[in-house]
Amino acid sequence: MSALGRALVLVLLSVAVPLGLVRAHASPAAGVERMYVMACGENRTEDVSAWSPGVNVGQPRVFSNHCYLIRHPQGWLLWDTGNADAIAAHPDGVSGAGGRLLVRMPKTLASQLKELGVDPMAIKYLALSHMHPDHTGNANLFTAATLYMQEAEYDAAFGPDAAKYNFNPATYDKLRGNPVVKLRGDHDVFGDGSVVIKSTPGHTIGHQALLVRLPKTGPVLLSGDLVHFEDNWVSKRVPARNFDREQSLRTMQAIEAFLAETKATLWINHDKAQSEHIPKAPASVE
């Protein structure tokens, strides 16, 4: 080989190694592997106008309700715990929300976790959108998890006046001994951007939503009760019993901008029509 040929080979080798290193370091973090969407009850009202003031007066509506189990290399995260499993013993449902709802739990959360082979004590991270009973119904099963809550919500839920906020401490009282991360705003749970808690106050004093970046589906925002159904989201309607109406409106406007920026899809927890198109456990969403 000529001197010129040897020089070209050396140049190519010197370039190839750094390019390989660049590709390796540019690889994205492992992030979320998959998510299971579990049906965690149904709530029926005979007059949905309490959730959409001035609209649909006297019209019935069924609200879906879900729990979301997220698999990340750092461990299992559970978002919300649905209606209480004990309600499953009453197939016709029980009265809830001061008689405004008929609350049902056709399939328990415990049985769905068992079907997935996940022990409640294996849940490492627990985050609740807020502390209303249809989201904390089975929270007491997860006493080994680290709890992620906005500080204002935590103080209200575990303070002396929980009932003032329409919270039911019996559904979550065993979490008092859990390790807790008290938040004052947004929080990147795993430090890789794949699961981010978004502070969304208004429905309750410390309500939060969850951004999940799925490997195939892309980014989705789990609403909690930021909004209850799509009509309310489009029209920016605030339920009559929200903690702070003006704050609710500001939050919805901020989240609308966030969705546009991130290209995330809003998954509305209580919107039954939308949820019917989302695969349910034991199938997963990737």
Cβ atoms of 284 and 33 closer than 8 Å: no
Condensed to tens digits (0 to 9), the pLDDT of residues 222-246 reads: 999 999 999 999 999 999 999 999 9
- Would you call 173 exposed, middle or buried from its count of C-beta atoms within 10 A (0-12, 13-18, 19+)? middle
User: Does some domain include residue 10?
Assistant: no
Q: What is the pLDDT of residues 165-181, one digit of tens each?
A: 999 999 999 999 999 99
Q: Using the predicted structure, report yes or no on whether residue 251 has a pLDDT greater than 50.
A: yes
pLDDT in tens, 262-276: 999 999 999 999 999
Q: Does residue 13 sit within a domain?
A: no
Q: Which residue has the tokens 């930021």?
A: 226
Tell me the pairing of strands 34-45 and 61-72: antiparallel
Give the H or E element holding residue 150. Answer: strand 146-150
Residue 236 belongs to some domain of the structure: yes
CATH number where 200 lies = 3.60.15.10
- Domain of residue 156, residue span: 28-275
In a domain, 226, yes or no: yes
In a domain, 201, yes or no: yes
Burial class of residue 283, CB neighbours in 10 A (0-12, 13-18, 19+): exposed
User: In whole angstroms, what is the distance from residue 226 CA to residue 233 CA?
Assistant: 9
Q: For residue 237, tell me if it sits in a domain.
A: yes
| Distance between first and last Cα of the chain | 52
Rounded mean pLDDT, 19-28: 29
pLDDT given for residue 98 in this prediction: 84
- Residue 7 in any domain: the answer is no
Place of tokens 């209303």: 132
Residue 19 lies in a domain: no
pLDDT of residue 8 exceeding 80, the answer is: no
The total number of structural domains in the chain stands at 1
What is the per-residue pLDDT across 87-124, written as a single tens digit (0 to 9) for each? 999 999 999 888 889 999 999 999 999 999 999 999 99
